[in-house]
Amino acid sequence: MQRGWSDPLADLERAPAKPYWLLYGEETFLVERALALVRGRMEASGAGRSRTLWADEDGQRIGDALADLRSPLLFGGREMLVVRHVEALSDDGQEQLLAALPTVERDGGLVLVGRSVDVRRRLFAACVRAGAAFAFPAIEDRDRRVARDWAVRLARERGHEMDARAAHDLVERSGTDLGQLSGELEKLSLHVGPKRRIEPGHVRAIVGPVRVHEVQELTECLARRDLTGATRTLRGLFAAGEPPIRVVAFLAANLRRALQVTELAEGGMRPDEIARTVNMGRWLVDRYLERGRSSDLARALGAMRRVDLALKSSRPAEAVFEEALLEIAG
């Protein structure tokens, strides 16, 4: 895999039809676009309906779902089965799916969707060998040009041309997460009006800057269990006007990438192998490996999920965050 970020979605668009696919990665915005693309292909090839299972909730139903996948529908066509969160599959569930791969017909379809997938496992390795696996890694800070190109593309999809300086300012303020960029562009589209060009002034008027370096510092403090430093950094972010929900999103994304790297390392993979597997710079892999054990990172990520839910209630954001920081670093 080449260093830097390529466009896996374009690779998928050019790929020949397959009876099954594996779509995975941290850039969930692109994973969802890839799934929509595959759904369109499967429907065009005669899939009659789509069924979704969540591996972490419906794992015991894999066998029945595969049996249905092989059975013609009453009114013609075959079912398309989407299995999400495939990284949570049990060994038995993975083996059932692996055994089913050769039986999947082109007018049916099996799509495996996940985030942090270990491609050394037999099921996922089989998809890689078949040329049916597509990884959608997060766009790192060093690849901001890619994020700017996507900003222009997403603006055009909404009927707007976008000034290059406006794309630059948008990425500087919002970061490189494409889901975040898409949300900000939705607001910009409503602000400027139909078919109008998006200029830097529009971005400055609508999009608040995200303080990426401070979020990185917050993550580093949590890794060191520096509760005082984490609390000080968090209060600085809030004082600067950073929306709490965006702090959660950036912190959770940081923790997810660190967890993915750490799990691979704990599984015996060397840092240079990890860098190639997750399409990440070696320097960034080394940084993430300093963030602690996978169990601690998973616990921290769980705390962030609870923060996200609590922020939607009436509790004060600072109190919710400080409670989570105490849980993580205490």
Task: Quote the pLDDT of residue 115.
Answer: 85
> Given a cut of 80, is residue 14 above it in pLDDT?
yes
Is the per-residue pLDDT at 207 higher than 70? yes
Q: What mean pLDDT do residues 262-274 have? A: 88
In this prediction, residue 330 carries a pLDDT of 63
pLDDT beyond 70 at 3: no
pLDDT in tens, 209-250: 656 667 777 877 887 788 888 888 888 888 877 778 778 877
Summary mean pLDDT of the chain: 84
Say which residue, 306 or 128, is predicted with more confidence.
128
What are 93-114's pLDDT values in tens digits? Answer: 999 999 999 988 765 589 999 9
Per-residue pLDDT at 82 exceeds 70: yes
Q: pTM for the complete prediction?
A: 0.64
List domains and CATH numbers for the chain. Answer: 8-135 (3.40.50.300), 141-206 (1.10.8.60), 212-329 (1.20.272.10)
Kindly report the three-state secondary structure assignment for every residue of the chain.
Answer: CCCCCCCHHHHHHHCCCCCEEEEECCCHHHHHHHHHHHHHHHHHCCEEEEEEEEHHHHHHHHHHHHHHHCCCCCCCCEEEEEEECHHHCCHHHHHHHHHHHHHCCCCCCEEEEECCCCCCCHHHHHHHHCCCEEECCCCCHHHHHHHHHHHHHHHHHCCCCECHHHHHHHHHHHCCCHHHHHHHHHHHHHHHCCCCCECHHHHHHHCCCCCHHHHHHHHHHHHCCCHHHHHHHHHHHHHCCCCHHHHHHHHHHHHHHHHHHHHHHHCCCCHHHHHHHCCCCHHHHHHHCCCCCHHHHHHHHHHHHHHHHHHCCCCCHHHHHHHHHHHHHC
What's residue 310's pLDDT? Answer: 81
| Res. 50: pLDDT tops 90 | no
Residue 276 has pLDDT above 50, yes or no: yes
Q: Is the pLDDT of residue 40 over 80?
A: yes
The pLDDT of 241-267, averaged and rounded, is 82
pLDDT at 322: 82
| Structure confidence at residue 295 (pLDDT) | 86
pLDDT at 75: 47
Residue 24's pLDDT is: 95
pLDDT, tens only, 145-177: 899 999 999 999 999 999 999 999 998 888 888
With 80 as the cut, is the pLDDT of residue 128 above it? yes
